[in-house]
Chains A and B, each alone.
Chain A
Amino acid sequence: MTLLTVRGLSAFYGDFQALFDISLDVTEGETVAVIGANGAGKTTFLRALAGALPVPRGAVQFAGRQVGGRPAHALVDLGIVLVPEGRKIFPSLSVRENLQIGAYRRRAGPWTLDRVYRTFPVLGERREQPGTNLSGGEQQMLAIGRGLMANPRLLLMDEISLGLAPVVVQHLYEVLGTVNTEGTTLLVVEQDVSQVLAVAHRVYCFRKGTVALEGVAGHLTREQIFAAYFGA
């Protein structure tokens, strides 16, 4: 079934329009990737879905409900959770507390502290340290773990590979593959196209705030993606 339906979504920062009439669908259980160059509107799009930006009510439907314009915390209750760009670990909180903040709304589901520690053992080993003491890759694990603690139905992830070593990125995507297989729907924003094409079922390419290309990941050619990415 269709979990997320976006129709004619436009978004603004003040007078600046960042998104123009975006339409996009995500089916339950899928991994969908949004790719595009810097400034294409990918981050804005995720922030709009997560309730961090004002959007028209009818522009976003989630599990059959119109949810556009609802505040972020209400969307977390429904199961839409964003792992923000730049990880945004809370420096005053320990690793454990950062994870617990993810579970603030107490949504029911399989993810618990123990399960996150099993998925990312390093977080368990360093649970009482300040979250920001971790390395970049470990902080990204923490940010993903914190998102999973909310037991999301749809996990939005923004540039999780940014600034990380390829081997770390590969590990993160392996874990996300498992998470997806176990039933959580993923919407991933990435600049690292080759990495994300390997895991995504379908791909949307954004350019200048519009959808320039969409298709099944395996069916798109390099030339098509290149053209959509840079505008041929």
Chain B
Amino acid sequence: MVWIDTIVQGILLGGLYALFATGLSLIFGVMRLVNLAHGDFSILAAFIAVFAVQSLGLNPLVALLLVAPVMATVGYGLQRLVLNRLLGRGILPAVLVTFGLSIVIQNGLLETFSADSRRLNPGGIETASVSLGGGLAVGAFPLLTFAVAVLLLVGLQILIGRSAIGRAFRAASDDGATAALMGIDNGRLYGLAMALSLAIVAVAGIFLGIRTTFTFSSGPDRLLFAFEAVIIGGLGSLWGTLAGGVILGVAQTIGARLSPGWGVLTGHLVFLAVLLLRPSGLFAKSRRVD
């Protein structure tokens, strides 16, 4: 029973990791950009939520409806004003600039909000639990997180698979230069992709902030887990990203069950094993491993 409980906890944690990973995967897929500030943006979103909770008295889950559009706007502006200038020159310029952004965001947060650790309080749901029968109960909040992650992934899958903008994302991912010839304004399209990415990571950041405490420097860890989930699942596959998040989450909870200090380590070991045995990921579309 303890093990079933551990695995269920891990699966639910995986939903949160998938939320972090999805935006990262989307950006890399559409424009081959590695956003090293991705984790810091999630923490930035969590701090904006802290601000909204303190100044407007909002519940953090309600603040989400405010923070996600704010982060989307930040993403669109950042992409159009800064990151679009770096594309088409190989992967390194964008890596350097987003690494710099990561430092800027962390120090900006330190300056503004101090080094104190914070937590978002949604007013009860974080301690509530749902009985699954057979003596098994799961936290209501992890369940909500997982449900939101799955809903967002389903929504994103429909957007990418069925809509005109989704077709444009896939066309630009295949061949940006030809997509431009077909009338796609790549600069604008990339802006929209980054807006979407940061809106999703805002959700992830706020759910993280309800689940656990965070500080100005919590971003890089989130980035690492997001990368691991993406690599385990395989690039270019949203369901692979969810599976990658779940595998990472389960590995971490099992490790932590064995010994409290082993959680993160076990996650890394599983990640390394996948990298060693199946470097393109477990669910990669074979064509897209470039």
Q: Interface on A for B, CB 8 Å cutoff?
A: 50-52, 71-73, 76-77, 81-82, 84, 88, 90-93, 97, 100-102, 104-105, 146, 150
Which B-chain residue is minimally distant from A88 (CB atoms)? B178
Q: Quick one: given A91-B287, A92-B171, are A73 and B185 in contact (CB under 8 Å)?
A: yes
Cβ-neighbour of B182 out of A71, A76, A91, A92 (below 8 A): A76
From DSSP, what is the main secondary structure of chain B's interface residues? helix
Interface residues of B (CB under 8 A from A): 164, 167-168, 170-171, 173-175, 177-185, 287
Q: How far is the CA of A82 from the CA of B179 in the complex (A)?
A: 11
Q: Is the CB of B180 within 8 A of A52?
A: yes
Which residue of B has the minimal Cβ distance to A94?
B167
Q: Which residues of A contact B168 (CB under 8 A)?
A: 101, 104
Question: A71 near B181 (CB under 8 angstroms)?
Answer: no
Q: CB-nearest residue of chain A relative to B29? A: A92
Q: Does the CB pair A90–B175 fall under 8 Å? A: yes
Smallest CB-CB separation from B182: which chain A residue? Answer: A101
Choose one: B171, B180, B183, B185; the contact of A90 (CB below 8 Å).
B171
Kindly state the separation between the CA atoms of A72 and B181 in the bound complex, as whole angstroms: 5
Other contacts beyond A71-B185, A100-B167: 13, CB < 8 A: A51-B181, A77-B183, A84-B178, A90-B179, A91-B174, A92-B173, A92-B174, A92-B287, A93-B171, A102-B182, A104-B168, A104-B182, A146-B182
Residues of B within 8 A of A81 (CB): 181, 183
Q: Which residues of A contact B178 (CB under 8 A)?
A: 84, 88, 90
What are 6 A-B contacts defined by CB distance under 8 Å? Answer: A73-B180, A73-B185, A92-B171, A93-B167, A97-B167, A97-B170
Residue of A nearest to B185 (CB): A73
| Residue numbers in A under 8 Å from B183 (CB-CB) | 72-73, 76-77, 81, 102, 104-105, 150
Complex contact B180–A71 (CB within 8 A): yes
Nearest CB in chain A to that of B177: its residue: A52
Asked if residues B173 and A101 are in contact (CB atoms below 8 Å), the reply is no
Taking the nearest CB of chain B, how far is it from the CB of A101, in angstroms? 5
Q: How far is the CB of A112 from chain B (nearest CB, A)?
A: 15
Decide yes or no: A82 and B181 within 8 Å by CB, A93-B171, A93-B174, A104-B164 being known contacts: yes
In the assembly, what is the distance between CA of A105 and CA of B184, in Å?
A: 8
A150: nearest chain-B partner, CB-CB: B183
CB distance from A34 to the nearest CB of B (A): 18
User: What is the distance, in angstroms, from A62's C-beta to the closest C-beta of chain B?
Assistant: 15
Which of the listed residues B171, B179, B287 has the most CB atoms from chain A within 10 Å of its own CB? Answer: B171
* Nearest-neighbor residue (CB-CB) of B287 within chain A: A91
Q: Which residues of A contact B173 (CB under 8 A)?
A: 92
**Given the complex of chains A and B, what is the CA–CA distance between A146 and B183 in angstroms?**
11
What residues of B have a CB within 8 angstroms of the CB of A100 in the complex? Answer: 164, 167
Tell me, rounded to whole Å, the shortest Cβ–Cβ distance linking B136 to chain A.
41
Which residues does chain B contribute within 8 Å of A146, judged by CB atoms?
182
